[in-house]
Amino acid sequence: MKINRKHAFVILAIGFLFSIPAVTAANSSGSVLAQDGGEDFFFNLIGNGAEIVFTAIDEQGAPAVVYGQLGIPDEQLGLDLPMYDGCVMMALLATQGELLEYILDLVGAQLFNFSDGGGGGGLMAQQFGEGESPIDSIFSMLGTDFSLLINVFFNIENDDAQVNMAEIRTHLHNGFNFNFEELLNLYIDEDFISNLIGETVELPFTSINLFIYRVTNPFEDAVNSVLDVMDQDGFIASIDSSFFTSARASGAGLLAVPDMGDLMELIDSFGGDGGTPTPASFVLSQLPAIDGPMAIAAAGYIGDQILSTSSNELNIFEDLLGKSSTGVVNGLDTGQSLVAAFLPPNMNVTGYSPEAEALNRTFYSPEARMVFWNATAFADVPDYTINFEPGAFPPLLVIDRAFDPLETTPGGSVEVRVTVQNQGTEPVYNLSLVDYDISDTYPKSVTIVGDLSDTLSVLGAGETMFVTYDVTFQFEGIYAFAPAVVVYDYGNNTFSKHTHIEGYTVSADPIGLLQQMFWDGYPFTAVMGGAVALGAVVNIVLMARGRGGGGTYQV
């Protein structure tokens, strides 16, 4: 994967979550960018807390935003309680839309050592349909909209790990109203690996327990619970949490390490014999030697286009985080607060505020296309604002995909309509609209009638273009529709927009199945009829649990 400027947002966001002082740091003495903060600075951040707002605007005027906190109050999580004995990491992730797809596409394959098992191509966080799942069957099953709790225990007895995990789930349920459904409960030791691969192996650890649970709370509740864990002083007082739940792609996450020393020990155990370290292990190896708990929480989203041909100003908190027009922004009472904005090359900046470069509290680099604010140095700020010349962005184009009916049963069809509307004041040119062929994902389960693509030379202001086709489904389940894409020209540039990944539900048809089971058993006696009916009921129950039906697909 070739890293370019647009990847800076995700790379820096991940850098913040793992090692904020190594990426971008500002201290109370006024240094905005600290290249070498040292151990004292790092301990300061953990002890006093830190928060940051990362924003990135793409060339079409669409934002990506992350708000995160380091050193959140760990007493709420109870990280020093005995139930965390042996736990090296707890992660809670709630994601909606293609946020996970976006992150994996940009950095996942290299940062996490994922492989697609073939000769290229990207990871798809959606279900893999009837093809071979290259690596991550858990993502195949979950798709793009899910909430997970993941806990890892290291070098403790299996029975102890089971008891501790049960107590942690109870604590999270009672304290934050989280509800869970088990997906994976795995105990890994040398016997497990030896039986798996058919030969004896020696591992650098005694055992690992991996627990994965689906969080059954609604997405909005899960995100708000993550935000509730954070320090409620600082930026969060000016943020409208609905921005993190209503965007086309959004998510929130919590990473808790009960003891950093235990985590370092686990990472060291995978170091092997001096081979090339993984990116994650390298990042963690740069941190100073510390023990004790550390917690990080973040929420983010990828939004639709908000800047267009007439735009000349961007207000970070009001436009991107829902601050009221009459409100003000303040950083943490204790700790460090930062605001960072990454800008596209077509955005010709004319100024920004607040501006205090003479005091080394702000930093702007036209070459790097970024603005940093040491927000700790400012109080009661109306907003953090960037001014730029109008005409930098294309007209507002909106692409949408609709299904009619919203749900069907096996053998039924849905009409799919993808519409592109020019909501701007100027025309765009050379449009090409293409929807993904879902039969490529499910060749045995769907048939398509109609056109999946169209072209148009000009789309004037207020005009629309569309494609319409019908999809017929053979089996029940949730089918993943990959994004539809429109490519168009404006000015001297070519742009593209896409819908998000969408799941379409084909519901089980219990009455039809019951009738079919009876017909399959005809002619029958009264006893035989009862047996067939019982078989139908069993089949329906299995189907409701995702185990029945000739081809059940779960996202």
* Strand order through the sheet with 485-490: 453-459, 428-434, 485-490, 493-498
Per the listing, tokens 């700020």 go with 381
Q: What's domain 397-506's superfamily in CATH?
A: Immunoglobulins (2.60.40.10)
* 55 compared with 257, residue with greater pLDDT: 55
Q: How far apart are CA 303 and CA 526, in angstroms?
A: 61
Evaluate whether 283 touches 267 at the Cβ level (below 8 Å).
no
* 74 compared with 350, residue with greater pLDDT: 350
Cis peptide before 134 (omega within 30 of 0): no
> Could you tell me the CA-to-CA distances from 370 to 218, 339, 354 in Å, in that order?
36, 11, 15
Evaluate whether 357 touches 364 at the Cβ level (below 8 Å).
yes
Instruction: Give 493: exposed, middle or buried? Use CB within 10 Å, 0-12, 13-18, 19+.
Output: exposed
Cis peptide before 405 (omega within 30 of 0): yes
> Could you tell me the CA-to-CA distances from 166 to 112, 129, 187, 543 in Å, in that order?
28, 34, 15, 29
Could you tell me whether strands 453-459 and 428-434 are parallel, antiparallel, or unpaired per DSSP bridges? antiparallel
Instruction: Give 197: exposed, middle or buried? Use CB within 10 Å, 0-12, 13-18, 19+.
Output: exposed
Could you tell me whether strands 362-365 and 313-315 are parallel, antiparallel, or unpaired per DSSP bridges? unpaired
- Global pTM value: 0.70
Evaluate whether 452 touches 471 at the Cβ level (below 8 Å).
no
pLDDT band (50, 70, 90) for residue 268: low
Which one, of 69, 10, 89, lies nearest residue 296 by Cα? Answer: 69
What type of residue sits at position 91? Answer: A
- Which tens digit of pLDDT belongs to each residue from 170-214? 998 988 888 899 888 888 888 877 776 777 877 777 888 989 898
Residues sharing a CB contact under 8 Å with residue 358, sequence separation 6 or more, in sequence order: none
pLDDT band (50, 70, 90) for residue 466: very high
Which one, of 323, 171, 322, lies nearest residue 250 by Cα? Answer: 322
Q: Kindly state the tokens that stand for 265.
A: 């020990």
Which one, of 239, 233, 244, 241, lies nearest residue 384 by Cα? Answer: 239
Q: How far apart are CA 353 and CA 367, in angstroms?
A: 19
Q: How far apart are CA 315 and CA 103, in angstroms?
A: 25
* 355 compared with 143, residue with greater pLDDT: 355
Give the per-residue pLDDT at 195. Answer: 77
- Indicate if the pLDDT at residue 280 is higher than 80: no
Give the per-residue pLDDT at 96. Answer: 79
Rounded (10°) angle between helices 8-23 and 38-48: 110
Which one, of 108, 100, 97, 146, lies nearest residue 554 by Cα? Answer: 146
Mean pLDDT on 301-330: 94
Task: Tally the C-alpha atoms within 13 A of residue 354's C-alpha that lie toward its C-beta.
Answer: 22
Q: How far apart are CA 477 and CA 506, in angstroms?
A: 5
- In degrees, rounded to 5, the angle at the alpha carbon of residue 166 between the alpha carbons of residues 160 and 172 is 135
What letter does residue 129 receive in the DSSP assignment? T
Segments of the chain assigned to CATH 2.60.40.10: 397-506
Q: How far apart are CA 362 and CA 375, in angstroms?
A: 9
Give the per-residue pLDDT at 276. Answer: 53
Q: How far apart are CA 37 and CA 201, in angstroms?
A: 42
Give the per-residue pLDDT at 263. Answer: 65
